[in-house]
Each structure stands twice: as structure tokens, then as C-alpha cells.
Amino acid sequence: MSVVIVVGAQWGDEGKGKIVDLLTEKARLVVRWAGGANAGHTLVVDGKKYVTRLIPSGVLRSGVTCVLGEAMVVDPTVLCEEIRTFRAQGFLRREEDLVVAARAHLTLPHHREIDRLRDERPGNLGTTRKGIGPTYESKAARIGLRVGDLYRPDRFRALLARQIEALGPTLLALGGTPPDAGEVAAHYLGLADEIRPYVRDASSTRPSPAATTCCSRGRRGCSSTSTTAPTRT
């Protein structure tokens, strides 16, 4: 199996999505290995604009499996919105068109709130306020929740309560308020069934014989894309 890797070295916005989309004309597996629901990739196909934030831009290619890898941080709300949008447009017709790593970490409302509050302070980095950095902080601090935890409700609630307790002082110091754990749990556990068909062990995903794998990564994150297309601009 041959592999093509696209690396962005300009902190994002270099056009990785378009490059990967073009390269994946012959690919069958497109892997996004890290990053989260950031600014996204914009593709124009036959005059129609598509925007991907979590799902690799390979979603526009038929017969391609798009993989959200284990080093990604996944916001389930954004993911469900993307899945609904692409399904309504005729994409993601098969369950095997998308793989969401069970071990990927979850971006939750308090991560986005911490990101926003920090970004409003003097000397900020200028983030997209999507909670990606704070989610990786939770992962490094070993208080993160993973996609697979959504399917163990008791464990999810317990880990969520621990995480909110740990991040509470940070939120208060920034002028925010810790969220209600019960409300957060109800919302995200309610999304679990919608993404369940796609959740699996991403590390065991294999392309069809003689296929090419295309992966892109950038400094701000990484994305990967896929295969089938008419005119692309």
C-alpha cells in the first residue's frame, strides 16, 4: 500500500484541503490524524461550495473511507452537523465511508468556553475559539473523555464530573462559570447513537487492495482527503 502525506508548514490556511482532494482521485483511504473542528477546508466542485471542519475533504469522493484518527479531538455537535449536511447532499451513503476513532478525545462546551475567554484577554493568540487547545490540555492532563466513553453512560458522567471539577478553577479565574454536568451529559449522550455506526478502532482500518492512502497534516492540525471528481476549482 502506497501512502501520500501532505504537510502544511504555515500554521494552516495553505490550501491543504484542495491539494488533498486533488491527490485522492486515486485513493481509497483518507486519514486525518490530529487536530479538531477548526476553520475547515473549503472546496468548490462544479460551482458548489463544500466546507469540512472535522471530516476529511475526501468525503466528496465515492468509494473512499474517511478516517478521523485517534490523535484528533472531536466535537460531537460539529460532527453530527457535518454528517447530516453531507448525507443530505448525497455523501456518506455507506457506514464504511466514515470511521471515527473510538479513542479520539472529545471537545466539550467548557473547552470552547476556556478558549473563548482566553482569546478575549490582552495578548491572546488569536484562536478560532473552537476549544481545540484546551481539549489537548485535558488529554495531556489525563482528564480527557474519549469518543468511546459516550457508549458507557455511567463512566461518561463520572469522567465528565471529574473534568469539570478540575477545570472549574480555570474557568472562574478567566471570569467564566463551570457548566452543569448533567446538562452537558444529556446533550452529548443524546448524540451518541447518531455517530455510533461510524465509531470503531481506527487503527485497524484497512483500505481495499492496491489502494493509496492520503494523509495531510499541518502545524495547526492535520487533515486528510480522498477520491472521485468532476471539475474542481
209: CB partners within 8 A, 6+ apart: none
Using alpha carbons, list the distances in angstroms from residue 210 to 1, 29, 36, 47.
6, 11, 30, 32
pLDDT of residue 2: 75
The distance from CA 207 to its chain's CA centroid, rounded to whole angstroms, is 20
Mapped onto helix, strand or coil, the DSSP state of residue 65 is strand
pLDDT of residue 225: 34
The one catalytic residue among 21, 41, 105, 115: 41
pLDDT of residue 6: 78
Using alpha carbons, list the distances in angstroms from residue 92 to 41, 46, 108, 147.
17, 19, 25, 20
* The C-alpha cell that represents 88 in the structure block: 443530505
pLDDT of residue 3: 81
- Dump the DSSP string for 90-116: T---SGGGEEEETTSEEP-HHHHHHHH
Task: Indicate if 180 belongs to the active site.
Answer: no
By C-alpha distance, which of 81, 64, 75, 175 is closest to 129? 75
Task: Indicate if 111 belongs to the active site.
Answer: no
Q: Please list the pLDDT of the chain residue by residue as tens digits (233 residues).
A: 678 887 777 766 677 777 777 777 778 889 988 899 976 777 788 888 888 899 988 888 888 899 999 999 999 999 999 999 999 999 999 999 999 999 999 999 999 999 999 999 988 878 889 999 999 999 999 999 999 999 999 999 999 999 999 999 999 999 999 999 999 999 999 999 999 999 999 988 876 544 445 554 433 333 333 333 334 44
The distance from CA 178 to its chain's CA centroid, rounded to whole angstroms, is 24
What is the DSSP code (8-state) at residue 5?
E
By C-alpha distance, which of 110, 22, 76 is closest to 199? 76
pTM beyond 0.75: yes
Mapped onto helix, strand or coil, the DSSP state of residue 196 is helix
pLDDT of residue 228: 33
* The C-alpha cell that represents 107 in the structure block: 471537545
pLDDT of residue 45: 81
224 within 8 A of 58, measured Cβ to Cβ: yes
3 within 8 A of 212, measured Cβ to Cβ: yes
Q: Dihedral, CA atoms, 78, 79, 80, 81, nearest 10 degrees? A: 50
- Dump the DSSP string for 119-141: HTSTT-----SSSHHHHHHHHHT
By C-alpha distance, which of 101, 97, 43 is closest to 76? 101
